[in-house]
Amino acid sequence: MNDSRSIILDKLRAARRPFDDAAPRPRTYLPALVADEMDRAALVARFVHEMALLKGQSFVVKGDAGAREQIRALIVQHDVTHALTWDFRHIPVDGLAALLHESGVEATIPLPHEDRSPERMAHFGKATLGISGVDAAIALTGTLVLSSGEGKGRIPTVLPPIWIAVVSVEQLVPRLEDWLAGERGRGMATVYERANLAFVTGPSRTGDIEMELILGVHGPGTEYVIIKEPG
pLDDT for the residue 35: 53
pLDDT for the residue 111: 85
pLDDT for the residue 125: 93
Ordered structural domains, the chain, with CATH: 42-229 (3.40.50.10420)
Mean pLDDT by 10 residues, the chain (231 residues): 75 64 74 69 95 96 98 98 97 98 97 83 95 96 94 94 97 92 86 88 77 73 96 82
Burial 99-114 (b: 16+ CB within 10 A, else e): bbeebebebbbbeeee
The three-state DSSP-derived secondary structure of 16-83 is CHHHCCCCCCCCCCCCCCCHHHCCHHHHHHHHHHHHHHCCCEEEEEEHHHHHHHHHHHHHHHHCCCEE
- In sequence order, the 6+-apart residues with CB closer than 8 A to the CB of 182 are 173
The whole model's pTM is what?
Answer: 0.83
pLDDT for the residue 186: 85
pLDDT for the residue 205: 75
pLDDT for the residue 89: 96
Nearest to 164 by CA among 88, 81, 225, 228: 225
pLDDT for the residue 131: 98
